Chains A and B, each alone.
Chain A
Amino acid sequence: MSRLLAAMSGGVDSGVAAALMAEAGHDVTGVTLKLWCYGKSPQSPRACCTLDAIDDARSVARRMGFPHYVVEAEEVFRARVLLPFLDDYAAGRTPYPCALCNQHLKFGDLISRLALTGADALVTGHYARIERRADSTHALLRAVDGAKDQSYALALIPYDTLSRVRFPLGALRKDEVREHGRRLSLSLWDKPESMDLCFVPDGDYAGFITKSLGETRGSEPGAIEDAEGRRLGTHRGILHYTVGQRRGLGVTAGEPLYVLAINAPRNTVTVGPKAALDAPGLVTGPANWLMPAPPAPGARAQVKVRYQHAPAAARLYPSEDGTVEVRFDSPQPAITPGQLCVMYDGERVLGGATIGSALGDERDAVARAVADSARA
């Protein structure tokens, strides 16, 4: 029997994960992180981290007979997730805050609280697996259910936490998880899935950033240009755009146009044909390795550049400064600064890093693509 701290958002997955560990006889303490000041306004039933969600987490704990607490994490959430999220949008990047939340809140802040209850390990409802290898090292693996696999969102968690984390759902399918919820009479077993960011339940990021947070950066209209710098139209503020976006540009041309790049200092959005989105590789920010040492330069890997991306074969070239150059076997579309680049070796997550830029001189790549499409 282990003493465990279970992170419970109020959703089905984390609730069932905690309940399964309690059912298996472990000494479980449930914790819900309070990330947000909720006020009294009614919330969407999809959103997690609301007052209703906290009640759902509590009811799982009551049902299974273990204690539950709400712990304040607003400061950490604000400093480590929310402000970087705003800074990224203001800088023309498209952030992936779930990875930061996992890194700093669940596998940072909460891990540091294990000693409070004398717990050996943290339990979460993520779909991923942790393997303890023969040489006592640990590896983060994809979930058995490929459709639910959340290893991408976990790629920034510190390597040394792997020995202190349990993922009870890593070998289960979603329908099996719901069935466990029903079998254990957990009231949340048929709750709807949360699809969007927990703090932007309606999916309207731009509205949330400007209206709820009062952010003014990134809202100034500016030029939409082609790759040669010719003005094609006016954008509504760069935070409304992301690389690879086609809809809502308000610019017509002979062929469909896509956002190729966002330049925050010049407040411009560069557009071009679909072919111009392809890049031969990318350069990351400082990488987090989920292995004892970084891979050797030229190591083979499969790389995901966004949550819903079929991994692409590539070679990795880690640098002294911690960044990684990723060279794809064949060019990949819409490399988006701010999104996460996650490097796999088969089932195993080698590491992850924020995407800094697409590889090569961006203007050269765009010019090449324009020339290609002109020839076509």
Chain B
Amino acid sequence: MIYLDHNASTPVRPEVRDAIASCLGDLHANPSSLHREGQRARAALERARDQVAALVAARSDEVVFVSGGTEGDHQALIGAAWALEARGRRVAISRLEHHAVHGAAEVLERGGFAISHLAATHEGFVDPAEVDSLPEDTTVISLMLANNETGVIQPVAGVAERAARRGIRVHTDAVQAAGKIPIDLEALGADYTVISAHKLGGPKGVGALIVRGGAPLESLLRGSGHERGRRGGTENLPGIVGFGVAAELAARDLMAEGTRLLALRERLEAGLTAAASDVVIHGTRAPRLPNTVNASFPGARADHLLMALDARGVAVSAGAACASGAVEPSPVLTAMGIACDLAICALRFSLGHTTTVDEIDLVIPRIADAVRVARSAAGARA
């Protein structure tokens, strides 16, 4: 199986697996316990915190471990909106956000907050000037750092600069960006940044919210003082230790891996264009992650393509799935103004640390074949 779905989850690195196994075998104490065994566990926890902080150029005490991207986004957006409630009861999110951010906004809406939306351009990013027209009572803006479907990198620094002028805080979901492009939170200017371990070679079920410079935040999970009172609950130590190792490896390999993946991405895109001359690759005129290609094959439905590729040993992802698991036009492509009949034909190819040149060369004829059968399936139905 050729796995081109690294944006969904990427294989755990062997070093991470070893670190988790040794943590499970050796560090059984509660990191909050006061005895020496507890202190050993706490040391492992704090070492992981340093490793994660280093990946995004943050201070260790700014890192709050959470259960993953969804919790991080909820904690950031809701926690900030609550903390800033005296100034206004409105948050703004971009139309490109992950479901997790839309979900957090829904929770706020349930509590009487107003939600504004930042529109996207046809090229798949938000124009920072959108910030200037937000209503007065806006307290937090949420804009992801890189889009999970198209890979388009968002102008978070530009948005943060305009937001700062108006005293608005900025949350960025950096789940897809972390480990793929350099992140310097000082330069970026985001107040709340969320990353997730399993997108960068760590295990599932652990992530981090980085709260920069003491930005205001109310805790959602309370009752105990873990994570400096910002997230109650005994820490997922094996997961966090694995996250730390994965973050360190990602930081070490970032430049070399970025260059390697970019060459593979360009090889894949050239191959797709050769295989299907009418292919439409989305977001090509914007800066993108080096590993992500989102392409529509007109006349070939994504659900057909996904099945056909799976049967031919290629794992990819289609834009969006509804509650039933059926493929639907992606809201991200729709927000970019991509027509429905093109959006329903979009596949996401996402490369990662296990992807090789040989795999890319093998995958091209299989895609060409899948497009051919998917088009004939659609034709038979007409």
Contact = CB atoms under 8 A, between A and B. Distances in A.
Interface in A12-59: 29, 31-32, 34, 37-38, 40, 51, 54, 58
Contacts of B326: 34, 70-72
A58 B325 CA distance: 10
B367 to A, nearest CB: 13
A246 to B, nearest CB: 41
Interface residues of A, number: 24
A54 B377 contact: no
B324 A76 contact: no
Contacts of A37: 322
B256 interface: no
A38 B325 CA distance: 11
B377 A113 contact: yes
B328 interface: yes
B311 A69 contact: no
Interface stretch (B24-32, B201-209, B268-276, B299-307): B299-307
B303 A69 contact: yes
* Secondary structure dominating the interface of B: helix
A118 interface: yes
Nearest to B344: A72
A371 interface: no
B376 interface: yes
A109 to B, nearest CB: 6
B381 A54 contact: no
B359 interface: no
Nearest to A67: B310
B324 A51 contact: yes
Contacts, number: 64
B307 A69 contact: yes
A31 B325 CA distance: 11
Contacts of B377: 112-113, 115-116
Contacts of B91: none
Contact of A71 (B307, B310, B376, B380): B307
Interface in B353-373: 370, 373
A116 B323 contact: no
Nearest to B301: A72
A57 to B, nearest CB: 10
Interface in A93-129: 108-109, 112-113, 115-118
B261 interface: no
A69 B306 contact: yes
B8 to A, nearest CB: 16
Nearest to A111: B380
Contacts of B310: 67, 69, 117
Contacts of B105: none
Contacts of B301: 72
Contacts of A58: 325
Nearest to B379: A112
Contacts of A54: 324-325
The bracket for how many chain B residues form the interface is 20 to 34
A70 B311 contact: no
B308 interface: yes
A69 B374 CA distance: 15
A113 to B, nearest CB: 5
Given A76-B381, A109-B381, A116 B325 contact: no
A69 B310 CA distance: 10
A32 to B, nearest CB: 8
B346 to A, nearest CB: 14
Contacts of B374: 116
B251 interface: no
A116 B377 CA distance: 8
Contact of A116 (B322, B324, B373): B373
Interface string B289-326: 00000000000010110111011100000000011111
A117 B308 contact: yes
A70 B327 CA distance: 8
A40 B377 CA distance: 30
A116 B311 contact: yes
Given A29-B311, A71-B303, A115 B324 contact: no
Contacts of B380: 112
A51 B325 CA distance: 9
B81 to A, nearest CB: 25
Contacts of A40: 323
Nearest to A116: B308
Contacts of B322: 34, 37
Contacts of B373: 115-116
B304 A34 contact: no
A163 to B, nearest CB: 16
Contacts of A116: 304, 307-308, 311, 370, 373-374, 377
- With most chain A CB atoms within 10 A of its CB, the pick from B308, B310, B373, B381 is B381
A70 B307 CA distance: 10
B307 A118 contact: no
Nearest to B305: A116
Query: Which of A32, A67, A112 has the most chain B CB atoms closer than 10 A to its own CB?
Result: A112
20 contacts: A34-B322, A34-B326, A40-B323, A51-B323, A51-B324, A58-B325, A70-B324, A70-B325, A70-B326, A71-B307, A71-B326, A71-B327, A72-B301, A108-B381, A112-B376, A112-B377, A115-B308, A116-B308, A117-B310, A118-B311
Closest 6 pairs (CB-CB, A-B): A112-B380, A117-B311, A70-B325, A34-B326, A116-B308, A115-B373
Interface of A: 29, 31-32, 34, 37-38, 40, 51, 54, 58, 67, 69-72, 76, 108-109, 112-113, 115-118
